[in-house]
Structure 1
């Protein structure tokens, strides 16, 4: 079955007043779990492959992209493919031939001027090929290889006026903003700046994206969506569920050697996590199975 475009899912969610969950995958089991959870919730979702995940697979995008696409096409849920946190221009250029409908181009480590220049070029390239482009302004922090970052440090959060100028100069389709969350959090203790989210929503014509959502409590996420967040990125929560299930199985079965024995409960645990986040975002039931008018 045909993949759904990320831009289409985001537009539908924005019009309906809810958010789309975007889940980062590393392995085939991640992709299967995302599809399984979306089907159980009756909701749409985005399958994301990050540049770090591509590096894990030897720097080769083709195999993980083919696996993600195959899982999505076989699913009854509406799923899209998104290439996440891309800093390499060569990887950006690989998005289109590998079937990704959207990409997050990450130039936030650069100076503001260089960020604008690089992102505008990425947007022009993407739009020529029908690719929806997300970018980031502010410092969410917490990614592998980055120094620890306090989300409450002055100057870290996204400024609405600067964000409005950035969107106008680059032409991006969505903006990831720094409002108090951080990547790779294993405890859900982040406190978001909801007043800032509302100001950003009022200042910008494009959807807002929340990165680092695994560390954000349920009520904080609900309030963020109500304030204007449209795309909610989740990665570490799946890895936590996966690793916890594997660890529990191996502790109970120390002589086990067949990976299917522990990858099955790991996949199921990730699927449950996916379904729970989709229910939280209010998007359950928003995606009819394909073949029934979806």
Structure 2
């Protein structure tokens, strides 16, 4: 199957009242786990590569894009390639320019750290570039908790009127909103503002995106989809699964030095996480433990 693009997948999910799972990948094992988990669940998904992940790999997009493209083409379900959290700095601007040729059908431009007027102008410029080059552009009106230097305090929310104005002024294809989630949460205890999600859905004519979904319990995720969320971003949950599995294997075998063995455990754990979350988003999840079932440190044990 050839790789899909985000726009049509989002439109289909929004029309059906479903949500599209989007997973941030760092290693090849992350990407393989997303592909395998989506295949197991039998539903589309998004392979997301953040600017920070590209920077971690030396700032070169082409090798990473080649691997993700190969996985997407081999997958039995549609997988879209998406560049996440590109800022207005030199690396972010370069990655935006490189995205179309590298095979990405969409990007998330993050101008949320800029003053409001600059955010609108920079986002509109990214959207204009995207239209010229076949890229759908997601954006963020205001910061979502969990980032260094975050301007939000707990309880800050996206205003529906401001969101509608931002979408109209920029022409973005999707909007990330602040409704109670936070990036990099390792425990699942976030409570979302479900009425606000419904208000935003009514006010904004484009799909809504939930960032920081790793810290959101299953029942809150299901409710968010019913309230109007269309794209659910997950990153830390995969890292929790990977780290827990690797840690457990190294505890069990302290002399182990072959990374293939412990990374295989991590890939298996991430695959199970992806498949389970996709089932939750599609309303077909089996009975699972409470949303707060992760240990206090947020690390789950290696599956046996």
TM-score by length of 2: 0.90
Equivalent runs, 1:261-272 vs 2, <5 Å? 261-272=261-272
For 2:261 and 2:93, how far apart are their aligned partners in 1? 39
Tell me how far apart the structure 2 counterparts of residues 197 and 2 of structure 1 sit (CA, whole Å). 33
Distance 1:146 1:264 in 2: 36
1:151 maps to what in 2?
154
- 1:65, CA displacement in angstroms? 1.3
Give the counterpart of 1:106 among 105, 110, 113: 110
- Say which SS state the counterpart of residue 95 (structure 1) adopts: helix
Runs of 4+ in 1 over 6 A off after TM superposition: none
| Deviations, residues 225-247 of structure 1 (Å, cap 9, x unaligned) | 10000000000000000000000
For 2:231, the equivalent position in structure 1 comes to 231
1:97 counterpart SS class? helix
Distance, in Å, in 1 between the alignment partners of 2:284 and 2:59 is: 35
Separation in structure 2 between the aligned mates of residue 246 and residue 148 of structure 1, nearest angstrom: 35
Matched residue, 1:121: 125
140, 143, 146: which one pairs with 2:144? 140
2:53 match? 53
Give the Cα separation in 1 of the matches to 2:53 and 2:133. 24
Give me the whole-angstrom Cα distance separating, in 1, the residues matched to 2:29 and 2:153.
32
Shift of 1:74: 1.1
- TM-score normalised by the chain length of structure 1: 0.93
Q: Which residue of 2 aligns with 1:292?
A: none
> How far apart are the structure 1 equivalents of 2:193 and 2:234?
19
CA distance in 1, matches of 2:236, 2:151: 16
Where structure 2 has 5 or more consecutive residues not aligned to the other structure, the ranges are: 286-304
Q: Separation in 1 of the partners of 2:104 and 2:167?
A: 22
* Aligned partners of 2:173 and 2:206 also within 8 Å: yes
Structure 1 residues 148 and 105: CA distance shift in structure 2, 3 A? closer
| CA–CA distance in structure 2, aligned partners of residues 148 and 28 of structure 1 | 33
Equivalence for 2:96: 92
Report 1:1-294 matches (<5 A): 1-87=1-87, 88-143=92-147, 145-147=148-150, 150-152=153-155, 156-282=156-282
Task: Quote the RMSD (CA, aligned, Å).
Answer: 1.4
Q: Distance in 2 between matches of 1:49 and 1:8?
A: 19
Quote how far apart the aligned CAs of 1:149 are: 5.4
| Alpha-carbon distance in structure 1 between the residues aligned to 2:23 and 2:171 | 25
Write the distance in 2 (CA, Å) between the matches of 1:149 and 1:160.
17
State the number of aligned residues: 281
- Flag the structure with more relative contact order, 1 or 2, with Cα contacts below 8 A and sequence separation at least 6: 1
